[in-house]
Structure 1
Amino acid sequence: MDELISWSKENGGNLSAAVEVFYDSVTGHSFRVREGHSLQPGDAIVSCPLNITLSYLNTLDQDLTPHGIPSPPHRTGDPLPQEFLRAVDPHVAARFFLIQQYLLGPRSFWYPYIRTLPQPDNLSEWALPPFWTSDDIDLLDGTNAHVSLHEIKARLRREHKHASAALQATSFAGRSRDYSRLLYHWAYTIFTTRSFRPSRVVPNPEALPLPSGVAVDDFHVLMPLFDVGNHSPTAEVDWHTGAAGKEGPHSGPVTVLSTRTPYAAGEQVFNNYGPKTNAELLLAYGFVIPESPALHNDYVHLQLRTAGPPSAASHGVKEAGGRESSSQPPPPKTREFFFSLRPVTHPSSVTAHKHLTLPSLDPDSVLPCFRHVQDTLVWELICMQTTPEQREALFPVTVVQEEGADGDKERLRVLLTGEARKTASVDMGMEALLERTLAIIQAKAFQELEKLEQSDFELAEDDEEGEEGNRATRNQRLAYVYRTQCRKVLINVLESLEMPS
C-alpha cells in the first residue's frame, strides 16, 4: 500500500497528512485519521489525478491528454485491436483492458495499483455472490438476490463468450485464451466494487471525444487510492473535479474527496456510494450493513409490470369496476419498488428517503398500513385501478398548490395520511379501492415470505465458535443474516396491513 501511495503522489495524487490507510480482516483496507490529527468539514481526504485512472478511455486510439487521460505512448502493452473494441460494449472493453494490464505484471504502468487489489487466484477474497459455490448460492434461494445473481452470471457468460470470439478474430488471436472467464469475473468484480461513473469524476465529461453511440456513463472509471474508502450511507462527502493545485508535469485534472463532517483521531473515514439497499450492496460489494437503532438498510425489492410512469392513466390494465381501457396501452415495463424493515419515512430509513415521492412526511402521520411500503408503489397500485378522472374525484386537491407543484403528490399525501377517507363519499368506492390495494400488497408480501420459508436454513449456535469443522463460512453467515433481515421486513409489512377503522 505504501508503494501505491507513493506512486499516486508521484503522478499528481495526494493523501491527506491527517489520514492513513489501515487494514483489518473485516473491512479490508480503509481510511483512518492518524493519531494526533483530525479532519474538519471541507478538508480533503484523498485526490486522484485522471492520468492514473483506468477505464475504457485508455483503450481509445486518440490523444486524450487534454482531458487528463494518458496518451497512447503512455499506455503499456499493445493496444487492444480496434475491430475488437468496435465489436464489444465499452464496459466489456474496460474489463479486458484491466485483464491485459494484470497479465503484463510489473511491466504495466498500473502495476503499483493492481498488486494491491484482491488477486484472481485468491477467489475467497473477491468472489461476489454470483461466483460463490453452488451450495452457497443455494443459501440465497427464495430471495431477490438469488434471482439477480443468476441473471448476472448468465449475462457475464454471454459477454465473455462474445468478447473472446471477437478477440480471436483479431491480431490477438494467439493470446485470446489468456483472457479467461476467471479473469473476466475478477475484472467485473474489481469494476463493480471500486469504480465510479465518469459523469461524477471527470471534469466536463460531455466534452470527451467518445466514439459514436457511446454515452458518458456506458462505462466506469477505476481510481487508484481514491477507491480505498469504505461505504457509509450516512457519510456526508463532496467529490470535486478540477485542475491540480500544483504546477509541473502532473498538473492535469484531479478528483478530490472531501468530508462535510469532522473526524477525530482513530476514526474510520468513509465515502458514500449512494443510496444502495442491502440487496444491492450484497450483490455489488459482498457485504450488508447491520441493523442498529440509528440505521437500518433492510428492504425487500419487488418488481411490478407497468405501462407507464406512476401518474399515467390506467397503465393499460382494467379500470375501476372491471372496464377495459379503450386506448391502446404502451408496452409493459418492469419497475422496481420495495418494502422496508421500518417505516419508510423513519429517520433510520436513510436509503428509503432517496427513493420516496414524499420523504419528509411525519412517520406518525402515515396510516400504519402504508408505513412499510414505498409510497411510489402505493400510488402506482392506485393508478393501475383508476383513471385520472376517478383519482381527481376520489382525492380532490383542496389546498392551494405552489406554482408548478404536482397535484398527484398532494393526492398521495392525503391518501397516505388518511385525510382522503374523511372527505370522500361512500359511493365513490374509496374503501373498496383501499382494500384492493392492501390486498395486492398483502398477497405480494405473503408470496415473498413463502418463498423464503420454503428454502429456509438454520445455523447451529456453535457455528461461530464451535469446532473448525462445524464453523460457518463467511458466505454462509452473510446469507443467513440477509435472509433473516428479509424475513423481518416481510413480517413487519404483514403485521402493519390491517385496514384502519
Structure 2
Amino acid sequence: MSSIEPENVTNFKSWIAQQGGQIHAGVHFEPVEFGFNVTARSDIPSDATVVSIPFSLAITPNVARHAIKQLLNTEPQNWSERQLKCTYIVLHSIVEPIDPSILRHRPYLDTLPSPEQLRTPLHFTEAELSSFRGSNLFGATLDRKHEWETEWQQCKNTVSAAIAGWGQSFTWEKYLTAATYLSSRAFPSTILSDTPSLVTTETSYPVLLPGIDALNHARGHPVSWVVSAPSQTSSSQRSESSISLVIHTPTPRGSELLNNYGPKPNSELILGYGFSLPNNPDDTIVLKIGGSSAPASIASPSALRGWEVGRHARGAEPVWEAVLSAVRGQKNDTVDDDDEGSAVEDELCAADMLAEMAQGLHDRLPPFPPANTSEIRPEVLQMLEHYLEGQRDILQSLVSFAQEKEARALQMAKEQGLDIVDEEEEGDY
C-alpha cells in the first residue's frame, strides 16, 4: 500500500474538511484498476465513524436545479430528477472557469472513475453485451439505453439553446458517465432523515453523498448511517445536520474498509453498479403474467408490475396464484367452479403451464462459457457467469415448485376418488 495519496484525493479530503465534513485519519484511498479502494492506513476500531458530511454536500435535485437555473438563466421544464443531477454533473466538466459557489462538487467528481473504468452493461462492447442475449438483463440494458439517450437529447437541446458552446460539449458519453455515477453510487433520500434508511419510498429520490459513497460493497457487512442534528455546544459547532457512516467491525491496517448497499440481486448489481457476487443469495427474476398464448414472461429488474421470484422459489406463490387465476379465467362460463374435479384440473393445467414457462425461460438463457469468450474482458465474463448461475438456479427451482403443485393436485384427485386422465398417456393409445 502506497502511503502517498494522489493529488485529487488530497484535494477532495481538504474540500470535505472545509465544508464541515470529516474523514477518519486512518482512511487511505488506494488507486486500483477501476478507481479507488478505501483501506485502513492504521488499525481502525469497531464502531468508528469513517466519514461524516453535512447534508448540504449532498447532490440533490434542488441543488442541481438551482445551479442549472443560475448558469443557463432558464428553468428546466419537465426534467426528471436524474436529468437535473446528470446535467449538474456534466456542467462541471464543460463550464470554465467554474464558480465554486454554483458548481460546488468538482473536488468530489475528480475522484470518481473515468468512463474507461466503468463496467455497467452500457459500457460493454457489442460482443460483451451480445453474450447476455436471451436474458432479461439484455433487454433491460437496451431499454435503459433508449431511456437515457432520450433524456440526454432533451438536456442537450436545453443547454444548447442557452449557450451553444456548452451544448456542443454536452456529449452522450458525459451524460452516460453522470447517469452511471448515479446508478452506482446514489443513496435514497430516506438516508437523510432522523431515522436513516436504505428503503426507497414513493417520495424518495437518489442523492449522491461525497465520501459516504466511496466504500465498496460487502453483503451483510455491519454498518450504520447516523444522522446528527445541529449543535452549538462548547465541544461542537456543527451548524447543520450531518450524515455519518459507522463501521461496526474492526479493520486492521492494510485491509479494505467496506460498506453495505443492502440486499441486491446480481441483475441490479450488474446493471447499476458494474459488478456481481458469486452465488448471490439475493438473486431474483421478475416475472409478468401475460395472455393465454404467453402466460408469463421474464421482465426487466426495474419492472413496476410483476412478481419477483428468488432462489428456492422464494416468492413463487403469488406467481402460482396468478397463473391459476389465468387458467380459471380462460374457462367457459358454463363450467361449475365449485366442481372438485374441475378445480383439480385447473391446478394440473396451471402447474403444467408454470413449469413449461419456467423451463422455456431457462432454455432461452445464453450458454456459458459463450462462444466468443476471447472477445470478452475477464471482469465482464465473471459477471456473466455469476448472473447466469443465479438465473438458472431460480428457474430450476420454479420448475420444481410447479412439479410439487402437480403432485399435490394428483394426490388430491386420488384422495377424492377422481379419475384424472394424463393427456400424454392418453395420446399413447
When normalised by structure 1's length, the TM-score is: 0.64
Q: CA deviation at 1:426?
A: 8.1
**What's the CA shift for 1:492?**
3.8
Letter in 1 for 2:271: L
Which residue in the other structure is 2:190 paired with? 199
Instruction: Name the residue aligned to 1:176.
Output: 167
| Contact persistence 1:54–1:98 (CA under 8 A) | no
Matches within 5 A, 1:189-338: 189-201=180-192, 216-217=203-204, 219-244=205-230, 251-259=239-247, 261-266=248-253, 267-291=255-279, 296-305=281-290, 335-338=305-308
| Within-5 A mapping of 1:311-460 | 335-341=305-311, 343=312, 371=313, 373-384=315-326, 427=340, 429-452=342-365, 455-458=366-369
Distance 1:385 1:216 in 2: 37
CA distance in 2: counterparts of 1:52 and 1:372, whole angstroms:
40
Question: Is the 8 Å Cα contact of residues 285 and 309 (structure 2) preserved in structure 1?
Answer: yes
**Structure 2, unaligned stretches of length 5 or more?**
1-8, 197-201, 293-302, 330-337, 412-429
Contact 2:29 2:36 (C-alpha < 8 Å) held by counterparts: yes
Instruction: Summarize deviations over 1:226-271 as a string: whole Å, max 9, x none.
Output: 1012223313433233435567886322112234x43342554433
Change (3 A) 1:494 1:38: same
Offset at 1:82?
A: 5.3
SS of match in other structure, 2:218: coil
CA RMSD of aligned residues (A): 3.5
Q: What is aligned with 2:418? A: none
1:106-121 alignment to 2 at 5 Å?
Answer: 107=98, 108=100, 109-119=104-114
Distance apart, 1:155 and its partner CA: 0.7
Matched residues in 2 for 1:200 and 1:16: separation?
21
- The aligned counterpart of 1:52 is 57
> In 2, Cα distance between the equivalents of 1:104 and 1:166?
15
Separation in structure 2 between the aligned mates of residue 167 and residue 257 of structure 1, nearest angstrom: 36
Query: Would the alpha carbon gap of residues 377 and 97 (structure 1) be closer, same or farther in structure 2, given more than 3 Å must change?
Result: same
**Share of identical aligned residues, percent?**
19
With over 3 angstroms needed to count, the CA separation of the structure-2 counterparts of 1:38 and 1:240, relative to structure 1, is closer
Residue 90 of structure 2 contacts residue 175 of structure 2 at CA under 8 Å; is this kept in 1?
yes
Pairwise CA distance, 1:276:
1.9
| Superposition TM-score, scaled by structure 2 size | 0.74
Q: How does 1:76-87 map to 2 (within 5 A)?
A: 79-81=70-72, 83-87=74-78
Partner of 2:421: none
Match of 1:7 in 2: 15
Partner SS, residue 498 of structure 1 = helix
Pick one of 29, 39, 46 that aligns with 2:36. 29
Instruction: State the alpha-carbon separation in 1 of the partners of residues 319 and 225 from structure 2.
Output: 32
Q: Which amino acid in structure 2 is aligned with residue 184 of structure 1?
A: Y
Assess if the C-alpha contact under 8 Å between 1:237 and 1:272 holds in 2. yes
Partner of 1:312: none
The aligned residue for residue 403 of structure 2 is 498
Query: Is 1:139 the counterpart of 2:131 in the alignment?
Result: yes
The count of corresponding residues between Structure 1 and Structure 2 is 368
The 5 Å alignment of 1:470-485 reads 472-485=377-390
* Alpha-carbon distance change, 46 to 245 in structure 1, aligned in 2, over 3 angstroms: farther
- Ranges in structure 1 where 5+ consecutive residues have no aligned partner: 62-74, 206-214, 307-316, 318-332, 344-370, 388-424, 464-468
Alpha-carbon offset, residue 203 of structure 1: 6.2
Q: Deviations over 1:460-479 (max 9, x none)?
A: 8xx7xxxxx78854223322
Secondary structure in structure 2 of the residue aligned to 1:275? coil
- Equivalent position amino acid for 2:288 in 1: Q
Q: Which stretch of structure 1 is more off in the superposition, 47-56 or 94-103? A: 47-56
**Alignment partner, residue 71 of structure 1:** none
1:91 equivalent in alignment to 2:82: yes
Provide the C-alpha distance between the structure 1 equivalents of 2:81 and 2:398, rounded to a whole number of angstroms: 41
1:147 shift after superposition:
0.6
Equivalent residues of 2:222, 2:249 under 8 A apart: no
How far apart are 1:173 and its partner, in Å? 3.1
SS of the residue aligned with 2:239?
A: coil
> Secondary structure at 1:39's aligned position in 2?
coil
Counterpart secondary structure, 2:285:
strand
Instruction: Note the alpha carbon deviations across 1:438-470, whole angstroms, 9 max, x for none.
Output: 223212212212211xx435258xx7xxxxx78
1:479 maps to a residue whose letter is L
